[in-house]
Every structure is written in C-alpha cells, then in structure tokens.
Structure 1
Amino acid sequence: MSLLNREVFWPPADELIEVAERIRARLGEWPAAETRWRICLAIPETPKADDLIVFTEPEQTIAAGDAAVLEAHDGRVTLHRGGERFALEGEWSDDWLAALAAFLDCNFEPHDALTLALAWRSGDENKDDAWPVDFATFPRVADLPPAPEGGFPACPDRLGLYPVLPSAEWVERVLDLGVRTTQLRRKTTDPADLKNEIARSVAAGRRHDAQLFINDHWREAIEAGAYGVHLGQEDVQTADLNAIARAGLRLGLSTHGYYEMLRALHFRPSYLALGAVFPTTTKVMPTKPQGLARLARYVQLLSGRVPLVGIGGIDMKAMPPVLATGVGSAAVVRAVTEASDTAAAVSTLQQMFSSQR
C-alpha cells in the first residue's frame, strides 16, 4: 500500500508524497493499481501513456502524445485522455494532487480518482474512515445540457428484485410469479417485432400494476405508454430526455463509477443502476467490474438521494453480499432465465429481499 520508493510525482515531490501516504493509509484495502500513474508537475521531456501532466495556468498548452493532461484553474479541472474529455467544477483542497495519487493507487480510473480527489478535504486523513461520503463536497460535471424541466417521475425507493428479460413471454411469466419490477431488453432489428414485444410487455405490466422498464427503445416506450425506460450513458447524448419526461415515463440510467454517477444525477433520473458489480457475459461492458467494496461506497454516498440498482453478474450466490451493501434493488438476468426451476428461483430471490427489510 506504500507509495514510497515509487515515481508517483515528477519531478520528485517529497512533501506531496508524504501527504499522499497519509491519505492512502486512511482509505482501506483496495486491489493493487493496474497502472502506475505518474503525476507530472512539469512537462517531461518524453511524455508516457501513464503520465498525467498537470497545468495550472490557462495559457499553458502541450502536445502530450499518449499522455493524459489535467488543466486545473478557475474552479474547473478538465482531464483530457485518449480523445475523451472529463470536466469538473467546484472547490477543492490544497491537497487535491496528493489525494489524486492516493485514489489512483486504489485502482480507480483517472476520471473517477479525480472526482474523489476533488471531493477530498484537508484534514480528512485524520478520520478513522476518510473516504469521501459527503455529497456536498463532490464536484459538478461541467458543460452538460439542461436537465428536463420538472424532472422525471419518482420510483419506489427500493425497487427490489429486478429481472432484465429478453422477451414479452418472459416478462409475463415473471410478473405472474409476483415480481413487480422488470425490464424488457429486446435485441432485434425487426421494427414490427420490437413494437409487438413492447406493447405486450407494457400490457402485462399494467395488469400486474408493475414497474416495467424498456431498455434503450425510448421512442417505442413512449408510444406504448410504458412505466419507464432504461438508458446507458452513451444514450443520454442521443435520446430526447425532454420527450421522455413530458410523456411521464420514469428514467433509469446506467453508471460505471463516480464521474458517471455525478453526470447522471444532473439529469435527475428516477433511479441509477450501479455496475457492473461482477463480470457478466450478457453484454459487453465499457469498464472493469466494480466489485462489492465500490458498490458499498456508492450506496453510502447516494442512499436516500436516488433509488439505486446493483447490476451486472449478480447470481443467486452473489445476491446476499450485494444486498448487504444496502442497495435497494438488484438486477438479474441468468439467475432467472437460466434457472432450472424459474418459479423456485424467483421465490428464493424474493425471500432474500424480504429478509433485507
């Protein structure tokens, strides 16, 4: 866990290393960092892919090659990395660079480590548990379009068991077994099939007074009068969120870390999905699995602020430790669709949620 005897800062900065060490010592045990990032306080002669070059003056610029660049001035920090841009606004402590080194050492990606570093406050290293959990200290994601006026309708705070299902037939079967939150994730290029599957699923949801979400296909969900729609981070840039809100549909958004959580919260969604908690084969994930320790920290920060759903690789065995984090809902796929006895699997999973209350 020690940062000593590593080239964490360039040029070497003993005082920053000492502060980073004190902060890291209060953050607990985390997997070893997969990348040994180097925070460059001056421009290295040959920037490397694992360099984060910090600029604190507006007029500074550099052709950084494969290196990432951090521009920090005037209440704003922008990370440029691999063609992507992550912009955050707010206040930060004088120790933010030391905190950044500490959170990078906890194996967080630079944009999430940066989010945590800006939420850090000087003196937090004196706490027994120094992890940032005060939402008021977290930065804001900059340059986002306005959230829909009035926001989206609310969901129950604890959505419970949340099967994500491939067809209307599966939706009907699971709702008949007493599940009250589910999602249709229909993979088809046939417009007629999609329209029919959504209409049939929405009808089943109404019969059971259930929370039926449609994955991705927001136009069709509006047309069918669905309870809600679930979108990924990339869909926020293309979907008409105002149209979804005007139609009265709930909105669930996928997130994969601190930066995306803050970005999603800007749009005032009905719930946030946090994942992928574990490796999953049901879809290609843009990020590595989050794990239980991160999920618990996400819940600690956001519980009571927005309904939360753990998602990704959650099976029967994994459900109890997932629920132990305090998350109010957990999405499952194969735990239901590949069960040898669907009714028994649903009953067992439902009992796990009942014992959580």
Structure 2
Amino acid sequence: METLKLTDRGWFWPPVDELSEAAERIRARLGDWPRTSRAWRICLAAPEAAGPNDLIVVIGREVPDGEVAAWRGDGAAVVQASAGGATLMAPGGERFSLEGALAEDWLAALAAFLDCGFDAQDALVLALAWRDGDEMRSEDAWPVELSRFPRVAQLPPAPVLAFPACPPRLGLYPVLPSAQWVERVLAMGVKTVQLRVKDADALPSGLEDDIARAVAAGRRYDARVFINDHWREAAQAGAYGVHLGQEDLDTADLEAIARAGMRLGLSTHGYYEMLRALHYRPSYLAFGAVFPTGTKTVATAPQGITRLARYVRLLDGHVPLVAIGGIDASRLAAVLATGVGSAALVSAVTAAADPAAAVARLQQAFQA
C-alpha cells in the first residue's frame, strides 16, 4: 500500500535508514489510514533552518529556553525526551507534558502515528504507549491497553470526592437549546439530555430560571439532565450533571461540582485530551467531532468513525463514552456499530420537521 511507504519520504533528518525502516514496519500494522497531508520532518539534530513541518527532537538534555524559542518562532515544534517521558512544545506556546516509559522504537512509532494523520500531541501519546515488538504480536498493533498509556504531567489533583457514576450506556443524548425543548423531548421518552444555552440573554425567563426548569423536568420524567458550562447555576438547581469542555478545566471548581453530587461529562478531541480528562475521573467522556458539524466551532478536524472505534475499544469498561458531532439519522447506525453506548445529537432533533417522529426513529436505532 502506498500509505505505508515511509523509507523514501524524508521523515528523519539527518537520514537514519534503520528508523525509517522501523517506522514503515510499525505503520504497516496500524491499519489502513489515509496518509497525512502534512510533510513532517523529525529532526534528530538542529536543522540549519527550521520550518513549520519540523519536529525537533532533543533526547537526554535540557534545551536552553532561547534555543527553543527560536525554533518555535520559525514555526517548528520541539519534543524534549528523557527516560521518564517527553514534552511537546508547540509553535503557539502550548506545552504537552507526558510521563511514561519510552520504548527503543518510540521515535519510529511517532513517525508512524504522524503518518496516520494524528496531531503531534496525540501521536506522541500513542508513541509513548508503544512497546518494542508490538508490531510483531498482533495483526492489529494499535495500542488498546489503557494501563500502558502515559500520564499527563503537572496537572492539579483530581477532586477528593469522586464524581457519581453514570449508566455505562447513556443511549440517545439530544443537546437542546432551552428548557422548553428539554420538557418537549423528555415527554417523548428520552432519558438523557443536555441543556446547552448559547445566548442566555435571549431566554425569556433568564438563565437561572431556565436551568431550574430543565432540572425540574428531569425529576418529573425520571431522566438525566446535564447542564452545559453553567456549573454554578446547575449546582444551585440540583442538576443531575454538568458537561464541560477542555478549556473549562482551567477555570471550573471541580471540587465544588463533586461536592454538589453532580455527574461530570468532559469533551475530548484526541488522545492527549482524553488522558487529561481521565485524570479527573469524570462520569463520562464525549469524543468528537465525529463528523463535520455546523452547530459548534471545533478547532480539531473531524475525527471519523475509525478513530471513534479505537476510542471505544480503549475505554471499554473504564468510562462511559458519548460520540458527538455531525451525527444524524443517516450516520447513527455506523456510529453505534463501533460499540459506543451513547450518541449526542443536536440538529437531528431540533431542526427536524417532526421532532417526535425523528426521536422515535433515533430511539429505534439504539434498540436494533
């Protein structure tokens, strides 16, 4: 397969034949992924002129801040590795620090996962989950044992009190813009919904009243109502749970959310964000966007069914998983075929000509 040819593509500088051969051997056991559109170059020595496709790897020594800043200023990313893990320093200033053992073939594995189209931080996670000889042990060598994955370094402690558990399969999960929609959909028999208010000023009764109304509807219908973002108002109303994005982990009081007895759902868009989210022991993880979506701006490219299936296999038995992003009735069967226990939908319900009929069809897909 052409997607597996790495030896003639200048992956390493200076050229290292044995690393290129190992990368090609590993890549051949990872499945049929489209070749990355980015012309990565993994630099094992400082290049004369760094560029935006360069990943400069420094092993076993501290790099002066000025040197790193110069490389990043040229658009290159830098990986600093040691026996205890690796840190990716992106051109934009982000740092992705991972703790874990490095296999002898980790650089070859990094090249192989980059070729599968993963962002650099996610490829680095997978490279640190790699063990020498994995490509010889199975027809499908993809890392699927969570215990072998690295840990995200320098995170604050998780809340002392664990978040309550969710059912392992949350089923159909409509994301709705108002309490009125929540009441309407719960009356159709749906048991899991999320209230996601985009414009609180447009609500006739105000944000707090709308959240309280949605939470009350959840109790009335014995359903699970999650509140997006507004965790303080959700706690005040006694909500079943809240859903937060990765950016909210820097600002939300997770201890207060746990003390309130609310479940916590967290968004993830790749392996690094998955590891960061798992550190806090959430009640569920959402993975997306699976398909292109116009309902929310997402910085990452659509993840697709194949990545979702890998996620499901990795996280099965560890945490409930919700697929989200661009899912409609025509795509739901393929999503559920991955084994995921829940799918969040937005316009497939709220933009339907007949929402009740749409919900009935979507519920049938979960029962098939």
TM-score class, shorter-chain normalisation, is: over 0.9
Indicate the SS of the match to 1:285: coil
Runs of at least 5 residues in structure 1 that lack an aligned partner in the other structure? none
Question: Residue 103 of structure 1: which of 113, 134, 146 is its match?
Answer: 113
1-side partners of 2:161 and 2:107: how far apart?
A: 38
2-side partners of 1:248 and 1:93: how far apart?
A: 41
Structure 1 residue identity aligned to 2:112: A
How many pairs were matched up? 355
Deviation at 1:57, TM superposition (A): 2.6
Question: Residue 124 of structure 2: which of 114, 121, 137 is its match?
Answer: 114
CA RMSD of aligned residues (A): 1.0
Question: Residue 73 of structure 1: which of 69, 77, 82 is its match?
Answer: 82
Deviation at 1:198, TM superposition (A): 0.3
- Whether the 8 Å contact between 2:173 and 2:192 is mirrored in structure 1 is yes
- Whether the 8 Å contact between 1:77 and 1:89 is mirrored in structure 2 is yes
Question: Residue 123 of structure 1: which of 133, 137, 145 is its match?
Answer: 133
Q: Deviations over 1:50-76 (max 9, x none)?
A: 101111133333221311000001402
Structure 2 residue identity aligned to 1:108: F
Structure 2 residue identity aligned to 1:122: D
Question: Residue 132 of structure 1: which of 134, 143, 166 is its match?
Answer: 143
Deviation at 1:189, TM superposition (A): 4.1
Residue 282 (structure 2) aligns with: 269
Structure 2 residue identity aligned to 1:240: D
Question: Residue 208 of structure 2: which of 167, 185, 195 is its match?
Answer: 195
2-side partners of 1:83 and 1:199: how far apart?
A: 40
Indicate the SS of the match to 1:243: helix
- Whether the 8 Å contact between 1:76 and 1:89 is mirrored in structure 2 is yes
Residue 367 (structure 2) aligns with: 354
- Whether the 8 Å contact between 2:27 and 2:113 is mirrored in structure 1 is yes
Structure 1 residue identity aligned to 2:278: L
Q: Deviations over 1:10-37 (max 9, x none)?
A: 0000000010010000011112202111
Matches within 5 A, 1:1-357: 1=3, 2-61=5-64, 62=67, 63-64=70-71, 65=73, 66-81=75-90, 82-126=92-136, 127-190=138-201, 193-355=206-368
Indicate the SS of the match to 1:352: helix
Structure 1 residue identity aligned to 2:346: V
Structure 2 residue identity aligned to 1:330: A
Indicate the SS of the match to 2:217: helix
Q: Normalising by the residue count of structure 1, what TM-score does the alignment of the two structures yield?
A: 0.98
2-side partners of 1:245 and 1:60: how far apart?
A: 40
Structure 2 residue identity aligned to 1:181: T
Q: Normalising by the residue count of structure 2, what TM-score does the alignment of the two structures yield?
A: 0.95
Deviation at 1:349, TM superposition (A): 0.7
Indicate the SS of the match to 2:206: helix
Q: Deviations over 1:219-245 (max 9, x none)?
A: 100111100000000001000000000
Q: Deviations over 1:99-148 (max 9, x none)?
A: 00000000000000000011011111112010000111100000000000
Deviation at 1:341, TM superposition (A): 1.2
Q: Percent identity?
A: 68
Runs of at least 5 residues in structure 2 that lack an aligned partner in the other structure? none
- Whether the 8 Å contact between 2:43 and 2:55 is mirrored in structure 1 is yes
- Whether the 8 Å contact between 1:41 and 1:53 is mirrored in structure 2 is yes
1-side partners of 2:110 and 2:329: how far apart?
A: 37
- Whether the 8 Å contact between 2:62 and 2:80 is mirrored in structure 1 is no
Q: Deviations over 1:313-332 (max 9, x none)?
A: 00000000000000000000
2-side partners of 1:33 and 1:337: how far apart?
A: 36
Indicate the SS of the match to 1:289: coil
- Whether the 8 Å contact between 1:69 and 1:80 is mirrored in structure 2 is yes
Q: Deviations over 1:137-172 (max 9, x none)?
A: 100000000000121000000000000000111100
